[in-house]
Amino acid sequence: MTTPRPAILIARAVFPEVEHKLRQHFEVESTPPGVFWSPAQLAEKLQGKTGAMTTGGERVDAALLAACPQLKIAANIAVGYNNFDLPAMTAAGVLGTNTPDVLTETTADFGFALLMATARRVSESEHFLRAGQWKEWSLDLFAGVEVHGSTLGILGMGRIGQAIARRGAHGFGMNVIYHNRSRLDADKEAACKARYVSKDELFAQADHVVLVLPYTPTAYHTVGAAEIARMKPSATLINIARGGIVDEDALVAALRERRIAAAGLDVFEGEPQVNPGLLSVPNVVLTPHIASATIPTRTAMAMLAADNLIAYLTEGRALTPLNPQVIAP
C-alpha cells in the first residue's frame, strides 16, 4: 500500500512552473488568478491540508490554526511575515518560513526607483503631460529636489537597507546615515559608507528618509507627526516596508501643507485600500506593493517557498524557517 501524498493549498495564484514543481510532491489545490480568500474561506480551503503556500495577504493566526488542526507548515512568499502570528504557530507546532535574500537587490532597486521618482516628481509630471496641460517649458517646471550628493537616511539597516545604502553611497555619492535596533559592525558600515545616528538625528538630517524596517507591533506608527515635524521642508519620505509603520493621516497633513516636499509609498496600512487623503495630494508617488516585483525575483521567492514546503513535508527540514524550534523542539 502506498502512503498518500501530503495535500497542500496554494492560497494565491503562482507561476505555472512553481505549481508544476509542487505537483511532483503533493496533492495540490491551487487558487485561480484574481481570487483572494477571506479568512473563513481560507480555513475551509485548508481542511485536510498539511501545507499552505501563503502571501502577506493571508493571515495565519490562532483562529485559523484552531480551525485547521492538520496544518504543519505555512510557507510565505515574502520576506516579511507580519501576517503570521508566530507565537501561536509555534504553540500549535506549525512551521512558518519566509523568503529572505532572493529579493534583496531587486527590492533595493525599487526603493531607489521610488526615491528618484519622488524627488524628481516623475509621476506628477507625467500626469500633467498626459492630461494635456504642458504648454511651455519653464525654468521651474516640476523642479524637484537633488538626489546625488544629498543625505540618505535609512531606518532599518537589514539586508535591504544595506543594499539601498550601497546604491546611494557608491552610485550617487550620497552621504548615508542610518538608524537600526543594533549598530552594524565596522566592516558592514564601511561597505555601505554608512554612519550610525539616533532616530531623531536621522529625521532631522536626512534629505531622503527610506523606511526598510520589519513590521512588528512595536513598529506601528514609528513615523508619526513628531517624526515628520523633525524633517526638513525639502525632504522626502519613502516607505517600502509596511504601511502601518507610517501614520498616514499625519503624512497627508504634512504633504498637503508642504511641510515636507514629497513621499513615495509602496505599502499602505489598509492595503489594497488606500487612505483617500493620499489620493488627494499631488506630491506623493503611490505604487501597489511591487518592490520585489520582477519576474525572476517573484519566481525565486515562490520557488523558495515551494522548496520549504517540499523539504519540510518530505524530509522534516526547512531552508528558511522562522520558528525552527518547531522542527527541533
Contact 147, 280 (CB under 8 A): no
Catalytic residue among 124, 242, 248, 298: 242
Taken in order 141, 142, 146, 148, the sign of the CA dihedral is negative
Helix (H) or strand (E) holding 168: none
The contact set with ligand DGY (CB under 6 A) reads 56, 78-80, 103, 292
Among the listed residues 262, 272, 227, the one whose alpha carbon sits nearest the alpha carbon of residue 245: 227
Non-local (6+) Cβ contacts of 80 within 8 A are: 56, 98, 214, 215, 241, 242
Of 100 and 153, nearer to ligand DGY (C-beta) is 100
- Are 154 and 213 spatial neighbours (Cβ–Cβ below 8 Å)? no
Long-range contacts of 284-288 (CB under 8 A, 24+ apart): 284/118, 284/255, 285/114, 285/117, 285/118, 285/122, 285/123, 285/124, 286/123, 287/114
Q: How many CA atoms lie within 13 A of 281 on its CB side?
A: 26
Q: What are phi and psi of 62, to 5 degrees?
A: -60, -40
C-beta closer to ligand DGY: residue 71 or 79 = 79
- Name the amino acid, one letter, at 113: A
Helices (H) and strands (E) in the chain, counts: 14, 12
Smallest distance from ligand DGY to CB 17, Å: 19
Is 271 labeled as catalytic in the residue annotation?
yes
Closest to ligand DGY by CB, 57 vs 277, is 57
Residue 84, φ and ψ in degrees, nearest 5: -100, 135
289 is catalytic: yes
Cβ 26 to ligand DGY shortest distance, Å = 23
Taking the C-alpha atoms of residue 234 and residue 261, their distance in angstroms, rounded to an integer, is 5
Residue nearer to ligand DGY on the CB measure, 162 or 292: 292
CB of 98 to ligand DGY, least distance (A): 7
Shortest approach of ligand DGY to residue 57 CB, angstroms?
Answer: 8
The catalytically annotated residue of 12, 167, 208, 289 is: 289
> Residue 47 or 216: which CB sits closer to ligand DGY?
216
Please, which residue, 164 or 235, has the CB nearer to ligand DGY?
164
Question: Smaller CB distance to ligand DGY: residue 208 or 242?
Answer: 242
| Closest separation in Å from C-beta 292 to ligand DGY | 5
Smallest distance from the beta carbon of 77 to ligand DGY, in angstroms? 7
Q: How far is the CB of 316 from ligand DGY (least distance, A)?
A: 26
User: 186-206 as b/e, with b when 16 or more CB fall inside 10 Å?
Assistant: eeebeebebeebeeeebbbbb
Query: Looking up cell 527610506, which residue turns up?
Result: 210
For the annotated catalytic residues, the residue numbers are 242, 271, 289
